[in-house]
A and B are shown apart, each in its own frame.
Chain A
Amino acid sequence: MPGYLADLRAPGALELAFVRSPFAHALIGKISGPAVTATELGVGDLRLGGHGVAPWPWPALARGEARFVGEAVAVVWAETRAEAEDLAESVEVEFEPLEPEAPRRLFERTIDAGAVDVCFQRAEHVLERTFSCARQTPLPLETRGVLAHFEAGRLTLWSSTQIPHILRRGVAQALELEETAIRVLVPEVGGGFGLKAHVFPEELVAAQLARRLGRPVRWIEDRRENLLASVHAHDNEVLMRAAFGADGRVLAVEADLRCDVGAYSVYPFSASLEPATAASAIFAAYDLQGLRVSARAVTSHRCPVGAYRGVGTNTAVYATERMLDLIAGHLGLDPLEVRRRNALRHLPCTTLGGRELDSGDYLELLRRVESVSGYEALRREQAEARRQGKLFGIGLALFNEHSGTGQSEYRSRGIEEVSGLDACRVRVTAEGRIVIHTSSVEIGQNHAPAYRRLTERMLGLEPGRVDIHEGDTDVCPPGTGAFVSRGAVGVLDAIAGALRLAGKQDLAPGTDVTCSIDPKQVFPSGAHLAVVEVDAVTFVPRLKRYLAVEDCGNVIDQRTVSEQIRGGVAMGAGKVLLEESAYGEDGQPLAATLLDYLVPVAADIPRIEIEHLVSPSPISAQGSKGVGEAGTIGAFGAVANAVADAVAPLGAELLELPYGPQRIFAAIQLATTSKQKKGRRLGG
């Protein structure tokens, strides 16, 4: 569909503006002015919570008390957005600030597998560190937006969303409408990265007001709202202990994860998203004899936490890869060698964390990284740079990640609202054109050419007869949407299935078949290498070189794979070096503009070298695996280790993301003062 949400022509549409809480926790008293509040709006809560997830829904408008700065408290509307914002400013709310509430535990996942205690008793070395992953936000360049129109008993909802069918379900539930009475349409989407895979309070408000007012209603988020009140991610702290031998072999790992999920549980993923994915991703590419993990989601007076490219795997890979480098440093071993000694060697296998790894060759990934990067020469270059007083670091990461999550996995995480299914409907028009409708949606991944080529190849068609049409719940089959890198897994399988059904009908005009798939997770993997130089005066880290050796199984479309890896790496580098949705002690957000929330610009990202290794998946029909998140996840390990390696000669140890100049400076200061103290003790 041409144009992004804010570009849609909407004659007669009313523009919404929200009155938001300036307090992290406050009682809401009298509201004066032309505003609609929670009581008057009459929208129900989105029901959340399955196995083990405590229900703690995010209300459409705050009821009684506000729980984070930016929470929507009331809504106004006017003919133009400027007038609506004037109105919102004129609304007076009597807030009574409250003390912060004690954190509530909404979810916990534990893993206790293998001989953890025995390993720790026998190990020659034990290392313990606390790693923390900054609170961040996906920051798609296009903010959120929704346009709602209620006419003749039917609600039409245009939304910049990754999940049209889940949105339809959520709105139906909250507004007590039949799902069939709602049509969700998705225009061009200006990036999602997980942020647009939620049903948001503002969407419910816009839908309800369109029904009440009998006029189209539109809301376009501004960047401040986006930074304060959409979703954040990764506010995790990991206390990790590793037991290992003098040869660098890690025997067992214990990890305790505390995930700050903010003020409410998000729909549809719930508060289980970060802890559940992080728990099973800890040391998931390595051969352990014991693994014990406790991961829990706890509330705070901050923006709710949702999905951001890589989700909990980022935290797990960050902590795992940092720990391996610390082990290497502790033993005086090369980090690449430590990874080689610990990498899983025999796939397929099931990890202690429960990942059923379908295929991969992790030693070959490491071999490729070594040869393509010219690893030995690079270490010599580093030694020379260090002699010249440069802070020059090399970082590695070896990892796998889940893609194409299906129904059973969601149920096991307590997520009932995600069907986990992917579907495709194939129609043959009277003119003989083949129309492909999927349950996915285009958010910039540009999957249509791959779908088209698969169709032409399977049906033996000449080019030019295939149309792809997504993002319309009236014609597309129900399914999960576009996230967790499912395009090259379940969606592709569903397309192939539907094409086979259509083929059986000889593509006769009028053919109309649908295939729905419950995909099983498949695990792409990768080994990445980053080179970073930290300025010796300003401590600003600069990414100088990046190599990604990726294995996403059979490659359906080379260009898309490279684009996803490259863009993912750039995003991951930003998450390690720059991005932080910081809060002050009083719960006030410190990153409310793009001058405070920093993301990489062209000058920050070097050319990304990409190498492909192919271990076809025996599970997905095309042998392919998802690739949307691997770049980001790898960068969490590789870039972080490179920065840490750069400043290691100064005795500094980096544990807390992002690794910007302030944190680097603080770590160097700490190292210097503790050395001085030690010196004094020895001297005294």
Chain B
Amino acid sequence: MNVEISLAVNGREWAGEVEPRLTLADLLRDHLALTGTHLGCEHGVCGACTVLLDGQAARSCLTLAVQADGRQVTTVEGLSEDLLPRELFQCGFCRSGFVCSAEALLRREPLPRAVELPELLAGNICRCTGYEPILDALSARLPG
């Protein structure tokens, strides 16, 4: 009982049949070979799988592919390398999720203040860095 969907991923149209239970994360990784989106917990806590859905941060492990029907999806592959460069991280597994969460923050109006960042990024887990390098890099782009 597959369902036909179409969506735009990083600006490119994709259409196809998917199982209703297929997650957006698995669609991106397994069907579109966009493996930059990582799965850390598959229950919506760690934030590694965060993508942008119509410009807003969304957990792709908790979003079904059918929910993305007709919508715009942006993954780490569609965002600038410079926002949070790889060398800020250690193992790097959480990076794609942070990039998408950060991009969503930077698109907000009005922009959040730098002091609010630790709370605003509390939905992404990093086990290596202690968060400081990530917060510092983003703070530089935000008003005090």
Most buried by A among B22, B125, B128: B128
CB nearest to A442 among chain B residues: B91
Given A7-B35, A191-B93, CB of A602 within 8 Å of CB of B118:
yes
Q: How many angstroms from the CA of A567 to the CA of B65 in the assembled complex?
A: 35
Question: Is A191 a contact of B132 with CB atoms below 8 Å?
Answer: no
Q: Which residues of A contact B90 (CB under 8 A)?
A: 191, 444-446, 563, 567
A-binding segment of B3-11, B39-47, B74-82: B39-47
**CB of A55 to closest CB in B, whole Å:** 33
Q: How many angstroms from the CA of A190 to the CA of B89 in the assembled complex?
A: 11
Let me know if B85 is at the binding interface, CB within 8 A. no
Question: Is B35 a contact of A6 with CB atoms below 8 Å?
Answer: yes
Chain A positions 220 through 252: 1 when the CB is less than 8 Å from some CB of chain B, otherwise 0? 001100000000000000000000000000000
Q: Which residues of B contact A450 (CB under 8 A)?
A: none
Let me know if B130 is at the binding interface, CB within 8 A. yes
Q: Which residues of A contact B112 (CB under 8 A)?
A: none
Question: Is A567 a contact of B122 with CB atoms below 8 Å?
Answer: no
Q: Which residues of B contact A563 (CB under 8 A)?
A: 90, 128-129, 133
B-binding segment of A139-147, A470-478, A648-656: A139-147
CB nearest to B45 among chain A residues: A594
Question: Is A569 a contact of B130 with CB atoms below 8 Å?
Answer: yes
Chain A positions 186 through 197: 1 when the CB is less than 8 Å from some CB of chain B, otherwise 0? 001111010000
Q: How many angstroms from the CA of A141 to the CA of B129 in the assembled complex?
A: 12
Question: Is A603 a contact of B127 with CB atoms below 8 Å?
Answer: no
Chain B positions 78 through 121: 1 when the CB is less than 8 Å from some CB of chain A, otherwise 0? 00000000010111111000000000000000000000011101
Question: Is A189 a contact of B91 with CB atoms below 8 Å?
Answer: yes
Interface residues of B, dominant DSSP: loop
Question: Is B48 a contact of A601 with CB atoms below 8 Å?
Answer: no
**Selected contact of A444 from candidates B35, B42, B91, CB within 8 Å:** B91
CB nearest to B87 among chain A residues: A446
CB nearest to B130 among chain A residues: A570
**Selected contact of A190 from candidates B26, B93, B129, B133, CB within 8 Å:** B93
Q: How many angstroms from the CA of A191 to the CA of B92 in the assembled complex?
A: 8
Q: Which residues of A contact B87 (CB under 8 A)?
A: 446
Let me know if B134 is at the binding interface, CB within 8 A. yes
Chain A positions 1 through 36: 1 when the CB is less than 8 Å from some CB of chain B, otherwise 0? 001101100000000000000000000000000000
**CB of B110 to closest CB in A, whole Å:** 21
CB nearest to A594 among chain B residues: B45
Interface members, chain A 160-189 (any B CB < 8 Å): 188-189
Interface members, chain B 2-39 (any A CB < 8 Å): 19, 21-22, 26, 29-30, 35, 38-39
Interface members, chain A 593-650 (any B CB < 8 Å): 593-595, 599, 601-603, 605, 607-608
Q: Which residues of B contact A4 (CB under 8 A)?
A: 38, 93
- Which residue numbers of B lie inside 8 Å of A, CB to CB? 19, 21-22, 26, 29-30, 35, 38-43, 45-46, 48, 87, 89-94, 117-119, 121-135
| Further pairs besides A3-B35, A593-B45: 6, Cβ < 8 Å | A7-B29, A139-B127, A188-B91, A567-B90, A594-B41, A603-B121
> Top 3 closest A-B pairs, CB basis?
A444-B91, A190-B93, A570-B130
- Which residue numbers of A lie inside 8 Å of B, CB to CB? 3-4, 6-7, 80, 82, 139-143, 188-191, 193, 222-223, 443-446, 563, 566-567, 569-571, 593-595, 599, 601-603, 605, 607-608
Please name 30 pairs of A and B residues whose Cβ atoms are closer than 8 Å in the assembled complex, sorted by A: A6-B39, A7-B35, A82-B21, A139-B127, A140-B93, A140-B127, A141-B38, A141-B91, A141-B94, A190-B91, A190-B93, A191-B91, A191-B127, A191-B128, A223-B42, A445-B90, A567-B128, A570-B130, A571-B127, A594-B43, A595-B43, A599-B125, A601-B121, A601-B123, A601-B125, A602-B119, A602-B121, A602-B131, A603-B122, A608-B132
